[in-house]
Structure 1
Amino acid sequence: MVVARLATTKSSCTQYSTPTMSLSSTAIEPRRFREALGHYASGITVITSQIEGEPIGFTCQSFHSVSMNPPLVSFNVMCSSASYPKIRQAGRFVVNILSDEQVRISNQFAQRGTDKWHDVDWQESPLGNPIIAGSLHWLDCEIYAEHAAGDHLIVIGEVKALDLQIAASTQPLLYFKGQYRNIAAHGAI
């Protein structure tokens, strides 16, 4: 049985109503849910920060644009993350959008309990965050808001600086159906 109720939300743009859904009698099996979400291709990023001279970071595929004015982006992070509390303390982060040549970087930053920064070249962003060498693009952000959502946090950042890699041969690193992918050289549809 699906139970719906209306929640009224007010924003600076308009006032609108959205239904909030509750699936009270349907249990979604976590493995099947993850498999279903795996059919959505996503880009791979590494979220980085630095506090007291210590670089911090983790791999993240739940990165999204939020707003053009002000320029806002978001990412989701597990509540149990060991890295995010330090990023929260710093109050700022860089979104490193990985190129298809950075599979090793993605895997390295996805591991817990290892030296994620071993053999990783980086430089400081204007806000003092680590920019990973070879990234396709980076966005330097200050934490704008944070919202709890199930077993994750939704973190919104206000973009303060950015840079785009302009090499034509550089492609984004994608993740689809449990595997890294890249964009085939067949051109746009």
Structure 2
Amino acid sequence: MIEIEAVGTDPAQLRRAFGCFPSGVTAVCAVVDGEPVGMAASSFTSVSVAPPLVSVCVQDVSATWPKLRARPRLGLSVLAEGHDEICLSLSRKSGDRFAGVGWEATAEGGVLVHGSSAWLDCSLHEEVAAGDHAIALLRIHGLLARPDTAPLVFHGSRFRRLAAI
């Protein structure tokens, strides 16, 4: 018989369980006051084809999301294998997150990371409160997909590579 532990007050217990599920990693970025601003998000998922929607979950304590949410367009880049350092850079709490990161802005101000496996040009469709996070539903206005470019995978607090079988 499998014994399930009760969920207690230890956030590390939940993070360890959540870490058992592999996820891709995205960068959500835009130009703010002439400079690139962005963050890494591993909570990305597809939501709807009609209308075209995706979601990312953002911590309520994020200092970056308030700068991004009001932008007319957001660039969402599905980070590729080998983007480990870019992901770590975009996750920093301080310093220049874009130091050494190749990027370009769309005409509407979304920022896209070079070499990603997909790029989505999005706007905030709706934001839903969810515990200590917000679920940001993003409407897709344009995209470019490169399915032959392997994605960056995060699992068990480490970056992993997909293996073809």
Q: Which structure would you say has the larger Rg?
A: 1
Q: In the alignment, what sits opposite 2:157? A: 178
Q: Aligned-pair distance for 1:126?
A: 4.4
Q: In the alignment, what sits opposite 1:99? A: 80
Q: Distance in 1 between matches of 2:83 and 2:121?
A: 19
- 2:91 aligns with one of 110, 121, 135: 110
Is the alpha carbon distance of 1:65 and 1:126 closer, same or farther for their aligned partners in structure 2, counting shifts above 3 Å?
farther
Aligned identity (percent) is 34
Q: In the alignment, what sits opposite 2:69? A: 88
How high is the TM-score relative to the length of structure 1? 0.80
CA displacement, residues 79-123 of structure 1 (integer Å, 9 cap, x when unaligned) = 111111110121431111011111110011011111001121111
Is the alpha carbon distance of 1:26 and 1:101 closer, same or farther for their aligned partners in structure 2, counting shifts above 3 Å?
closer
3-state SS of 2:70 partner: helix
Q: In the alignment, what sits opposite 2:59? A: 78
Correspondence list, 1:146-161, <5 A = 146-161=127-142
Aligned residues: 160
3-state SS of 1:135 partner: coil
Q: Distance in 2 between matches of 1:40 and 1:26?
A: 18
Q: Distance in 1 between matches of 2:59 and 2:90?
A: 14
How high is the TM-score relative to the length of structure 2? 0.91
Higher relative contact order (CA 8 A, sep 6+): 2
Q: Which runs of 5+ in 1 are unaligned?
A: 1-24
The answer to which of 91-100 and 61-70 deviates more is: 91-100
**Contact (CA 8 Å) 2:74, 2:121: kept in 1 or not?**
yes
Q: In the alignment, what sits opposite 2:13? A: 32
**Contact (CA 8 Å) 2:31, 2:105: kept in 1 or not?**
no
**Contact (CA 8 Å) 2:72, 2:109: kept in 1 or not?**
no
Between Structure 1 and Structure 2, the one with more strand by share is 1
**Contact (CA 8 Å) 2:30, 2:105: kept in 1 or not?**
no
Q: Distance in 2 between matches of 1:86 and 1:26?
A: 34
Q: In the alignment, what sits opposite 1:51? A: 32
Q: Distance in 1 between matches of 2:75 and 2:120?
A: 5
